[in-house]
A = this chain, B = another copy of it.
């Protein structure tokens, strides 16, 4: 068991649980666990610990953990922040294997709290005792009857769904709210993890465990995420991939979508947790469903909880009202479902049974005629359900004493004899309380029922889309580093040496970027070349004679550029001369550039002068890499010019990229039409761009001291004619970690 894949058994199936700071008051956080363990029937030993009591609820109460006679697998800690470290140290001495710390007042409370949390982390590392929290609501494993939490019990008791779900939450409140809202609908959770400040174990540890759990009673995992900690990024990435490959459905709420939310989240969790856009890209990449909020997550869990996953997006709407039909048609298309055209036979049969003024297309409008003929609803559904063009059914109807018995009985038969996903948008004709028995009867046979027609359609549409994407998923191929890496490293080393012989002995970090240094176009393009990424033909020269020779070798129209890793914007300081032809012009350009650079205040060290072919115009792309603190290298691309600058039309993917990732990121761009040949242009060579994205992904992973890379522009020519990097720029951690 390594640090990242710890033994979680003390948390999941402890033989004994000690409650430190146990209280007799069952409405207080440290009173609830004992009460709940008894209520749920925990089969192991329970040890309340509190010097103020002799016993609680008939259990002998110990003055401290070390006076407990037997072994303790799990300690639940609800003492004050000031006492927490002492208590944890005692636990470690006792040989406790796992601890859940409820207490608040650590990293979320400022500097002093952060120090205290650091101390807890160190204690965990030194002692091997794993810790959940602090500042958490704790964990619950219903199957194993573990309630190491001050979460309240489920308020609702009727289970209607085939599946349960697991929930991991970085907010106790949200976790509890979610499982209560789901339970109210008859959908329960199996395991619940509130991870709090994640001093030691975090959300990714439990996600990794659930993703791999083979005896899971559920393949639905939901998470509430404020931000993954830097230390847990890699584990989160692999756990998400693992869940996808094992056909587990992973749905997340990720807050911090806006600047205000990010600010609030970082004051809540006090961690460096990366950019929301990167999360969003990663979720898409790994077919995780991002729910905008709890209002959308619960419907999603309900529909998934039936175990009927959409086979496609083709959806039929059957409504007892025209207005409902129109609204549902709108929502279906809005959320990506296809309001498919029925088979002729379906329409014919509908026409046979429905009044002449009903609509028999899709959506089907039964009209107010159902007020006098309630079984029109059932008959229509029965016809549409058989249509092979229909993957999913959305039913919209009112219910009351007049139609309930007939409708419920027929719907039940129909639902149980079908395997298509269906949802019912159901409006009571009587007061809510009076309608509840009808709704409950419908739920009882498994059909998910809703009282709104927005979030449920979002959920169905999103699920259908996700299943389609998950079925087609192609994982990235893991390629062992090879000669590309070796060669690129040789270039890098040579570059460090050349820099040292240049002017300074040590490359100095760019101002304000301690430990990170910029690298010039020439060396960046050499490294790109090692990875097979096409760059302009060019020669770095150090003399007028060299410049002249380069001109002869390259021929044609040439650009002449000053090369220095300390020049950020070559053009602005006059460091680029274009359209030079022949050795004479290029020689002059060389001299001119040397003079220009030399005349600058505090002239930057020149690495040489680059003589470079000039390329014909093409579609200009920007491809880059940024290292995210959580996700590692992120590859980004966008169309040059206004698309990136004004519309921020950029697509991101976390490395490693698969070919599918690269294709999807291009398709995601608003400007994708430009590549496809909009405005009378020829379609661009997308295949070449995809290939470059894959190579950039590999480079970014293998050159692990690359912090940032910018290829701008990449000239993309018409299909079959390739793409070439014209300029590039990079930022690195100091050579071979010497400066890191």
Q: Which residues of A contact B (CB under 8 A)?
A: 27-29, 81, 104-106, 108-110, 113, 135, 152, 155-156, 169-175, 177, 180, 184, 224, 226, 253, 255-261, 263-265, 267-268, 292-296, 320-327, 329-334, 339, 355-357, 359, 361, 363, 365, 367-369, 371-372, 402, 427-433, 452-455, 641-643, 645-647, 670-671, 673-674, 678-679
Contact = CB atoms under 8 A, between A and B. Distances in A.
Contacts of A135: 357
Nearest to A359: B267
Contacts of A452: 293-295
Contact of A329 (B109, B170, B264, B294): B264
Which of A355, A646, A673 has the most chain B CB atoms closer than 10 A to its own CB?
A: A646
Given A258-B333, A293-B327, A430 B174 contact: no
The 7 A-B pairs at the shortest CB distance, nearest first, are namely A171-B323, A261-B330, A173-B321, A109-B357, A258-B333, A174-B323, A264-B329
A735 to B, nearest CB: 36
A368 B326 contact: no
A367 B106 CA distance: 13
B371 A642 contact: no
Nearest to A647: B670
Given A156-B431, A431-B156, A258 B329 contact: yes
Nearest to A110: B356
Contact of A226 (B294, B326, B368): B326
A322 B258 contact: no
A334 to B, nearest CB: 6
A435 to B, nearest CB: 9
Which of A109, A261, A361, A641 has the most chain B CB atoms closer than 10 A to its own CB?
A: A261
Within the oligomer, what is the number of copies of this chain? 2
A452 B296 CA distance: 10
A244 B171 CA distance: 44
A689 to B, nearest CB: 18
Contacts of A355: 104-105
17 contacts: A29-B368, A104-B357, A105-B356, A172-B323, A174-B323, A224-B323, A257-B330, A257-B334, A258-B329, A258-B333, A260-B333, A263-B329, A264-B325, A264-B330, A295-B452, A642-B642, A642-B643
Contacts of A673: 646
Contacts of A643: 642
A324 B177 CA distance: 10
A572 to B, nearest CB: 11
B256 A294 contact: no
Contacts of A253: 327
Given A365-B268, A642-B679, A646-B674, A174 B333 contact: no
Contact of A324 (B169, B173, B365, B641): B173
B331 A293 contact: yes
A329 B260 contact: yes
Given A177-B427, A258-B334, A646-B671, A292 B454 contact: yes
Contacts of A184: 432
A365 to B, nearest CB: 7
Contact of A293 (B106, B174, B453): B453
A28 B258 contact: no
A155 B175 CA distance: 34
Contacts of A260: 329-330, 332-333, 339
Which of A29, A171, A173, A671 has the most chain B CB atoms closer than 10 A to its own CB?
A: A173
Nearest to A322: B268
A80 to B, nearest CB: 11
B402 A27 contact: yes
A315 to B, nearest CB: 10
Contacts of A320: 173
B646 A327 contact: no
Contacts of A110: 356
Contact of A321 (B172, B327, B432): B172
Contacts of A334: 257-258
Contacts of A169: 323
A256 B171 contact: no
A253 B172 CA distance: 37
Contacts of A255: 323, 326-327, 330
A673 B641 CA distance: 13
Contacts of A113: 357
